[in-house]
Amino acid sequence: MELVRELHRRGYQTVGWDRSQLDIADNRQVESVLTPWDPEIVFNAAAYNQVDVAESEPQAALLVNALAVRNLALACHQLDARFIHFSTDYVFDGAARRPYVENDPTHPLGAYGVSKLAGEIYAQAYLDAPLIVRTSGVFGPGGLRTARGNFVEVMLRLARSGQPIRVVEDHVASPTYAPLLAARTLDLVERGQTGIFHVAGGTPTSWFHYAQSIFAAALPDHAVELHSTNEREYRTAAHRPKFSALSNARMESLGIEPMPSLGEALRLYFAAREKLLNSSRA
């Protein structure tokens, strides 16, 4: 959604498909749908991102995050189209304890991360010059329209319940505002960049501090019972990297505008959120 909006803003002609319109896991369907359009650029923003569920159904994660990427890469090879693919901070294990750069060794800890890394490998195997954009903890206005929402909407929903909220403080990521991710990705595309780039939020942040920032921005006068917890107390099916923040230094070295702080990103989010809610009420 945000990617299409940014493409339109810059004057590109676009066509987009959701899962009900195009099953990218079906190689023949990918070829038959893309070929008539003969696109110059193909963006893949689809993903299986249920990190914990992937541990019990790794085949489903591999089908969408790896084999479907192969299908798209093959189609782009046949059509001589540029391929832009989005990946994740979960290709790393978090052992570095500092923001990851693009050439750091990968070492995913679970089925989701393995499937996303496999997608990167497929894109690089079938194409000479794909652009792979790794990002982290994406949140955007589109989360208002989905059943699962995003981390911001989950926190607000829990706050409305009045129940105590527990969030891990020992896992650090780079929460990323979706419209800015779309804009920076197109900046890379328009500069003809290829290879792997990190485009993530400008502030390495624990999930607990992220929750605190959400409530400070959205509910400054509302008492929310927020408690910190840790990996040992809050067990999940998937093993996640404890420090998966990403460095945007390579992107910034091209003169592309840095990503803003988390506080500024949340301000932009809540402004866009209010605009959407007001338009739905009208």
DSSP codes joined into one string, 93-153: -STT-SPBPTTSPP---SHHHHHHHHHHHHHHHH-SS-EEEEE-SEE-GGGGGSSS--HHH
Q: Mean per-residue pLDDT for 236-251?
A: 96
Extract the runs of DSSP E, i.e. beta strands, from 94-173. Answer: 131-135, 138-139, 165-168, 172-173
- pLDDT at res. 20: 86
- Tell me the C-alpha distance between 30 and 68, whole Å: 9
Could you tell me the pTM of the whole model?
A: 0.95
- pLDDT at res. 277: 85
Nearest to 244 by CA among 104, 118, 122, 124: 104
Within a domain: 282: no
Within a domain: 35: yes
What is the number of domains present in the chain?
A: 1
Instruction: Please confirm, yes or no, whether 112 is among the known catalytic residues.
Output: yes
Q: Locate tokens 């019972």: which residue?
A: 225
Backbone angles phi, psi at 65, to 5 degrees: -85, -15
Instruction: Name the 3-class secondary structure at 133.
Output: strand
Q: Mean per-residue pLDDT for 73-82?
A: 97
- pLDDT at res. 263: 96
- pLDDT at res. 278: 84
Percent of the chain with pLDDT over 70: 99
Within a domain: 79: yes
Supply the mean pLDDT for the chain: 95
Within a domain: 53: yes
Backbone angles phi, psi at 147, to 5 degrees: -65, -40
pLDDT in tens, 151-177: 999 999 999 998 999 999 999 999 999
Considering only 143-147, 213-217, 249-253, which range has the smallest mean pLDDT?
Answer: 143-147
Extract the runs of DSSP E, i.e. beta strands, from the chain. Answer: 41-44, 82-88, 131-135, 138-139, 165-168, 172-173, 176-177, 195-198, 205-206, 226-229
Model confidence at 229, pLDDT cuts 50, 70, 90, reads: very high
- Tell me the C-alpha distance between 123 and 28, whole Å: 18
**Pairing mode, if any, of strands 138-139 and 176-177?**
parallel
The answer on pLDDT for 58 being more than 90 is: yes
The answer on pLDDT for 282 being more than 70 is: no
Q: Mean per-residue pLDDT for 181-200?
A: 98
- pLDDT at res. 19: 85
Model confidence at 149, pLDDT cuts 50, 70, 90, reads: confident
- pLDDT at res. 145: 77
Of 112, 122, 126, 177, which residue is the catalytic one? 112
CATH number of the structural domain spanning residue 203 = 3.40.50.720
Q: Which domain holds residue 247?
A: 2-277
Whether the CB-CB separation of 201 and 177 falls below 8 Å is answered with yes
Within a domain: 134: yes
pLDDT in tens, 101-114: 999 999 999 999 99
- pLDDT at res. 1: 82
Model confidence at 39, pLDDT cuts 50, 70, 90, reads: very high
Percent of the chain with pLDDT over 90: 87
Nearest to 254 by CA among 186, 182, 153, 159: 186
Within a domain: 176: yes
Within a domain: 72: yes
The answer on pLDDT for 221 being more than 90 is: no
pLDDT, greater one: 142 or 77: 77
- Tell me the C-alpha distance between 57 and 63, whole Å: 10
Name the amino acid, one letter, at 32: S
- Tell me the C-alpha distance between 122 and 124, whole Å: 5
